[in-house]
C-alpha cells in the first residue's frame, strides 16, 4: 500500500506550493473530486524510490463557518486517512492562534507529524523559528517551498518514518489476478462484487482497520484463483448512506495502485460524470489495465439504449484500449463476460516481451513512417527492449530521442499495441539516448 501523506496548515502557508513541488504537478493526478472532497487535491510523489500519495488539504483557519467549516472537516478527514502529517506554518507571519488550534487537533490524533516552517527565506531563522517549538510537535524543518530549499532534508526525514516499500502485508494474502473494483458511491460496486463472487466463493477475509482500507477477497472461479480488492467494503456496509460516507479517494487510489486490473464501474443510468472521468484519469496515470463496466443497463429505456451506447462510447474514446461492458450487476446480465476482458487485460499487461521481437517491430514502424528531422538530422531509433510490466514499458534506444515529438510517440505506441496484440492495458514508451 502506498503511504499517505497529508499536508495541513492554515490557508496561505505554502501547502500547494510544496504539493506541486513534490508531485511535480505536471505528472500528478491532481484532480478536484467535486462534491465529496471539496478543495482536496491528490497527487503521487516519489522520493528516493519511495512512492507515496500526497493529499493537499484546503486549509484550517480556526474560525470557520459554513462552507469553511466543511472544508476544515475535510482536512480532518484527510488527517485520519494519512500515515504521516506535514504540518506547515509560515515563518514570516509567525505563530498564530490558528496554528495553535491545528496543533491541538493533531495532538489528539497522535499521527506522526513533522512541523514544516515554511517561507524561511528573508527571515532570521534563529529568531523566526523559536516560537514554533512551543507547538510541541517535535521535529521542525525550515523550508522555502518556492525554491525548494530544505525540502530534500524534509523528505529524507519523512521517508525514514515510512514503512520500507517491500513491507507489504496485503500482497502476500492475495492470489491470482488482483481485480480492483472502483467507482463513485452507489454505482453498484458491492452489488457487482457479490455477482463476481457468485457461488464459488471460497475464502473471504475481512481486514479490520480504518475506513481507508479496502477488503481483499480471495476466491476461485473455474479453478482459477482471483483476488478482488473491494473498495465498497461489502461485508462491513449496512446501508446505502454509509457507503457514501465510506467512499474515499485515498482508498480508491490505493486499490488502483495495488490492482493488476481495475474494473471501473459507471452508472449508465446517470451517464458519465466528472468524477468518473477523474477516476479514469487516475487509472491511466497509474498505468493500470482497465475494464469499464457500465452498470444499471437494465434501468435504461430500451428505445434509448442505442443512443446512450453510442454517446458513451464516443466520450470514452480516449480510453479506446479498454473493453467496455454494458451490464446489470443487479440481474447478473453481462457480468460473466467481464472475466474474459479481465484475463485478456492481465495477459497483455504482464506478457513477457523479447528484445528481438520489440526491435523488429520498432524497425518495421520506423521503415513505414520515419521519425522527423530535427535541426537537419534525422532522429534515429535503433532498438527496443522491455522495461517493466503492468503496465508494459517499452524502452527505445537511439539518438536525439529527447526530441521525438508526441505524435510520433503515439504512433509508436499504437504500432506496438497492434503488433503485440495488447488489450486493455496502457503501454508506456520510454526513450534513451546513446549506444
Ligand atoms: P496554501 O494556501 O497553504 O496552499 O499556500 P500557497 O502554496 O498557495 O502559497 C501562498 C503564497 O505563499 C503564494 O503566493 C506562494 O507563492 C507563497 N509561498 C509559498 N511558499 C513560499 C516560500 O517558501 N517563501 C515565500 N517567500 N513565499 C512562499
Ligand atoms: P456501491 O455504493 O457502488 O457499492 O453501490 P451498491 O452496490 O450498493 O448499489 C447502489 C444501489 O444501486 C443499490 O440500491 C443497488 O441495488 C442498485 N444497483 C446496483 N446495481 C444495479 C443494476 O445493475 N441495476 C439497477 N437497476 N440497480 C442496481
CA angle 164/49/402 to nearest 5° reads: 165
Residue 162: pLDDT band with limits 50, 70, 90: confident
- The chain-wide mean pLDDT, for the chain, equals 84
DSSP state of 239: S
User: CB atoms < 10 A from the CB of 402, how many?
Assistant: 10
The ligand that comes nearest to the alpha carbon of residue 116 is: 1
Integer CA distances (angstroms), 23 to 70, 99, 258, in order = 26, 25, 20
Ranked by mean pLDDT, the top range of 15-29, 296-310, 412-426 is: 412-426
Query: Distance between CA 34 and CA 40 in Å, rounded?
Result: 9
Question: Does the Cβ of 59 fall within 6 Å of ligand 1?
Answer: yes
Question: Does the Cβ of 248 fall within 6 Å of ligand 2?
Answer: no
User: Which residue's CA is the nearest one to ligand 1's atom 15?
Assistant: 14
Instruction: Please tell me the predicted confidence (pLDDT) of residue 136.
Output: 87
- Compute, in degrees rounded to 10, the torsion defined by CA atoms 326, 331, 334, 337: 140
Q: Which residues pair with 54 in a beta bridge?
A: 5, 43
| Mean pLDDT, residues 144-168 taken together | 85
Which has the closest alpha carbon to 290: 182, 142, 137, 131? Answer: 182
**Binding site, annotated residues:** 9-16, 56-60, 118-121, 183-190, 230-234, 295-298
Ranked by mean pLDDT, the top range of 12-21, 30-39, 262-271, 297-306 is: 262-271
CA 243 to chain centre: 20
With beta carbons less than 8 A apart as the criterion, state whether 144 and 120 touch.
yes
- Mutation pick for ligand 2 pocket among 191, 192, 251, 295 (CB with most ligand atoms within 8 Å): 191
Instruction: Please tell me the predicted confidence (pLDDT) of residue 354.
Output: 92
Q: Which residues pair with 293 in a beta bridge?
A: 265, 325
Amino acid at each position: 500500500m502506498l503511504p499517505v501523506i497529508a499536508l495541513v496548515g492554515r490557508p496561505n502557508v505554502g501547502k500547494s506550493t510544496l504539493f506541486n513541488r513534490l508531485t511535480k504537478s505536471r505528472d500528478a493526478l491532481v484532480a478536484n473530486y467535486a462534491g465529496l472532497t471539496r478543495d482536496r487535491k491528490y497527487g503521487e510523489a516519489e522520493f528516493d524510490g519511495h512512492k507515496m500519495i500526497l493529499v493537499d488539504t484546503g486549509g484550517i483557519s480556526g474560525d470557520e463557518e459554513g462552507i469553511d467549516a466543511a472544508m476544515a472537516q475535510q482536512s480532518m478527514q484527510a488527517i485520519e486517512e494519512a500515515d504521516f502529517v506535514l504540518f506547515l506554518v509560515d515563518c514570516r507571519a509567525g505563530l498564530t492562534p490558528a496554528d495553535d488550534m491545528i496543533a491541538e487537533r493533531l495532538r489528539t490524533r497522535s499521527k506522526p507529524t513533522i512541523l514544516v516552517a515554511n517561507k524561511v527565506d528573508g527571515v532570521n531563522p534563529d529568531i523566526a523559528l523559536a516560537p514554533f517549538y512551543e507547538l510541541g510537535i517535535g521535529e521542525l524543518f525550515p523550508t522555502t517551498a518556492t525554491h525548494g530549499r530544505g525540502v530534500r532534508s524534509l523528505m529524507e526525514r519523512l521517508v525514514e518514518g515510512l514503512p520500507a516499500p517491500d513491507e507489504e502485508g496485503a500482497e502476500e494474502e492475495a492470489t491470482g489476478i488482483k481485480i480492483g473494483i472502483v467507482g463513485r458511491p452507489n454505482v453498484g460496486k458491492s452489488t457487482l462484487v457479490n455477482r463476481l463472487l457468485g457461488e464459488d466463493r471460497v475464502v473471504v477475509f475481512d481486514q479490520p482497520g480504518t475506513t481507508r482500507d479496502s477488503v481483499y477477497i480471495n476466491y476461485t472461479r473455474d479453478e482459477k484463483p482471483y483476488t478482488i480488492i473491494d473498495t465498497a467494503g461489502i461485508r462491513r456496509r449496512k446501508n446505502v448512506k454509509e457507503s457514501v460516507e465510506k467512499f474515499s479517494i485515498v482508498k480508491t487510489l490505493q486499490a488502483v495502485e495495488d490492482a493488476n486490473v481495475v474494473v471501473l464501474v459507471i452508472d449508465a443510468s446517470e451517464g458519465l460524470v466528472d468524477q468518473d472521468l477523474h477516476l479514469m484519469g487516475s487509472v491511466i496515470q497509474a498505468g493500470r489495465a482497465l475494464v469499464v463496466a457500465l452498470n444499471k443497463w437494465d434501468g435504461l429505456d430500451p428505445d434509448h439504449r442505442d443512443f446512450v451506447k453510442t454517446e458513451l462510447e464516443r466520450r470514452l474514446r480516449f480510453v479506446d484500449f479498454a473493453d467496455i461492458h454494458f451490464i446489470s450487476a443487479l440481474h447478473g446480465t453481462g457480468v460473466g463476460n467481464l472475466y474474459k476482458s479481465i484475463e485478456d487485460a492481465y495477459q497483455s499487461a504482464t506478457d513477457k516481451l523479447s528484445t528481438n521481437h520489440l526491435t523488429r517491430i520498432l524497425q518495421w514502424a520506423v521503415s513505414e513512417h520515419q521519425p522527423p528531422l530535427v535541426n537537419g538530422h534525422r532522429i534515429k531509433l535503433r532498438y527496443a527492449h522491455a522495461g517493466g510490466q503492468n503496465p508494459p514499458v517499452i524502452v527505445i534506444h537511439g539518438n536525439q530521442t529527447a526530441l521525438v515529438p508526441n505524435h510520433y510517440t503515439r504512433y509508436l505506441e499504437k504500432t506496438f499495441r497492434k503488433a503485440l496484440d495488447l488489450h486493455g492495458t496502457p503501454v508506456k514508451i520510454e526513450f534513451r539516448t546513446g549506444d
